[in-house]
Amino acid sequence: MVAKRQMPTVRLRRLAAELRRLRSGAHLTREDVTEQTGINTATLYRIETARVRPQQRTLTALLDLYAVGEPQRGEILALSREAGAQGWLRPYHSELPEEYTAYISFEAEARAVRNYESLFIPGLLQTEDYAHAVIKGVLPTASAREIEQRVRARIERQEVLTKVDPLSLWVIMDEAALRRVVGGLKVMREQMQRLMEVAAEPSVTLQVIPFNAGAHAGMPGSFVLMSFPEAEDPEIIYIDSMAGDLFLEAEADVRRYSTTFENLRAVALSPDASADLIAELVKEAR
């Protein structure tokens, strides 16, 4: 039986950041905290890096040590109680890779997503047939069950675009992502039609960088920037590569990728011109 993992959430990250700030403000090292409270140093590290949610008695001991009074104490305790909320993660997601379920959790809580893709149609915009073909192609050793689980998760993720307060999505794609025939012409025609439909939604902005734009800042690879409703929650950068999935949240990284995205916006076709290009590709696929 697969053990239930503690997936990172925005609130868990906020709690971890607040506890790090409080310890720093008290001029204590982790070793100092261990000596004065008996909390294991490794446990404290996991708490402060959002790997685990602290138990009630552990959190109380930390707040006592840091001399945290009301109303801040009550706010932190409430944040801890809410830190395990998993957005809409389905039970079977425990069988998916940990990094992917973490991404799903963050995406479900995000207010806005900026996504640059160089080779794929973004997951939130994929049709089921395209998703099946691309996952099967990228993971040639995956079983039929594993492929189906990933396709199912990918399609379910798209609920963030149709909920009452939909995700604000800004997508920039290289023309190569549109030109690569994944799953055959029929699949691509349906995929292009799907892009045209979604691009008409007010919460979605879609741009394409044409081949004739030449070299551009996105050529090293794809990335996703996620922003959250609360100002206290720092943006996250997600990078999916052959070397593994990577989450970045340092200010310098966020600033660098935000600047890159702005550069890509500048070289990409306008949303209207991008829609025209996609319409032309639909005609070609016929």
- pTM equals 0.76
**74-119 per-position pLDDT tens digit:** 888 887 887 665 444 444 455 677 678 778 878 888 999 999 999 9
The pLDDT value recorded for residue 44 is 92
**Following DSSP, what letter does each residue of 142-168 receive, concatenated?**
--HHHHHHHHHHHHHHGGGGTSSS--E
**54-67 per-position pLDDT tens digit:** 888 999 999 999 99
The pLDDT value recorded for residue 89 is 45
* CB-neighbour burial class of residue 51 (10 A; exposed 0-12, middle 13-18, buried 19+): middle
d(C-alpha 54, C-alpha 148), whole Å: 35
Please provide the average confidence, as pLDDT, over all residues in the chain. 88
The pLDDT value recorded for residue 49 is 79
CATH superfamily for 10-82 is: lambda repressor-like DNA-binding domains (1.10.260.40)
**258-285 per-position pLDDT tens digit:** 999 999 999 999 999 999 999 998 888 7
> Domain residue spans in the chain?
10-82, 91-285
The pLDDT value recorded for residue 116 is 98
**136-179 per-position pLDDT tens digit:** 999 999 999 999 999 999 999 999 999 999 999 999 999 999 99
The pLDDT value recorded for residue 247 is 83
**207-230 per-position pLDDT tens digit:** 999 999 999 999 999 999 999 887
Q: Which fold has domain 91-285?
A: Endonuclease; Chain A (3.30.870)
Identical fold, 10-82 and 91-285: no
The pLDDT value recorded for residue 282 is 86
Neighbours of 79 (CB within 10 A): 17
Smallest CA-to-CA distance from 47 within 63, 34, 58 is with: 58
Smallest CA-to-CA distance from 103 within 173, 170, 157 is with: 157
Residue pair 97/25 in contact (Cβ under 8 Å)? The answer is no
The conformational region for residue 83 under phi > 0 = left, psi -120 to 50 = alpha, else beta, is: alpha
